[in-house]
């Protein structure tokens, strides 16, 4: 049976803790906002109730957006892949539009759990010696 060295165990636990902390801290607060449909969003824009919109293009077809109403509330919606109609309506209503750039940091944060598992696997592979049996 393989003996766990105290340093290796501490390293693995630290890596898991760091991955969890990074994921927790960088996680978007948008996921905790009230969700609305695309139709509700367009109606609010046409009724001149929307103040600002932040659009975060995603790799998939749908595009998440967070919008702030003039009365102070905030909500999120998902725009279709081709959101030209929504963009035209927002421009017509003089909505302040911010389009976020997808950053490499976001990719790293999403890959953190996989990287932690890879690190644990590599540590275990290097600790096992040829001919060692695991009971």
**Domains present along the chain, CATH in parentheses:** 14-126 (3.30.720.210)
Residue 109: DSSP 8-state: H
pLDDT value at 111 more than 60:
yes
pLDDT value at 47 more than 90:
yes
Quickly count: other Cβ atoms within 10 Å of residue 65's Cβ.
Answer: 25
Question: What is the rounded distance in angstroms from the CA atom of residue 117 to the CA atom of residue 124?
Answer: 11
pLDDT value at 98 more than 80:
yes
Give me the pLDDT at residue 102, please: 66
Global pTM value: 0.54
Mean of all residue pLDDT scores within the chain: 79
pLDDT value at 78 more than 80:
yes
pLDDT value at 45 more than 90:
yes
Q: Mean pLDDT: which of 16-25, 26-35, 63-72, 104-113 is highest?
A: 63-72
Helix or strand (DSSP H, E) at 35: strand 34-35
pLDDT value at 62 more than 70:
yes
Q: Report angle CA 88, 59, 113 to the nearest 5 degrees.
A: 140
Give me the pLDDT at residue 63, please: 84
Give me the pLDDT at residue 40, please: 92
Question: What is the rounded distance in angstroms from the CA atom of residue 123 to the CA atom of residue 24?
Answer: 25
pLDDT value at 49 more than 90:
yes
Closest CA to 113 of 5, 16, 29, 31: 16
Give me the pLDDT at residue 95, please: 92
Q: Are 56 and 65 in contact (CB under 8 A)?
A: yes
Residue of 105 and 70 predicted with greater confidence: 70
């Amino acid at each position: 049976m393989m003996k766990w060295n105290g340093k290796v165990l501490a390293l693995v636990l630290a890596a898991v803790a760091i991955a969890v902390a990074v994921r927790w801290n960088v996680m978007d607060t948008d996921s905790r906002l009230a969700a609305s449909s695309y139709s509700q969003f367009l109606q609010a824009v046409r009724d001149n109730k929307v103040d600002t919109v932040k659009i975060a293009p995603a790799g998939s077809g749908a595009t998440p957006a967070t919008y702030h109403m003039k009365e102070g509330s905030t909500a999120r919606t998902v725009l279709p892949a081709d959101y030209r109609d929504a963009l035209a309506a927002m421009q017509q209503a003089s909505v302040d539009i911010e389009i976020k750039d997808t950053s490499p940091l976001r990719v790293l944060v999403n890959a953190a759990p996989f990287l932690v598992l890879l690190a644990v696997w590599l540590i275990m592979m290097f600790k096992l010696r040829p001919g060692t049996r695991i009971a």
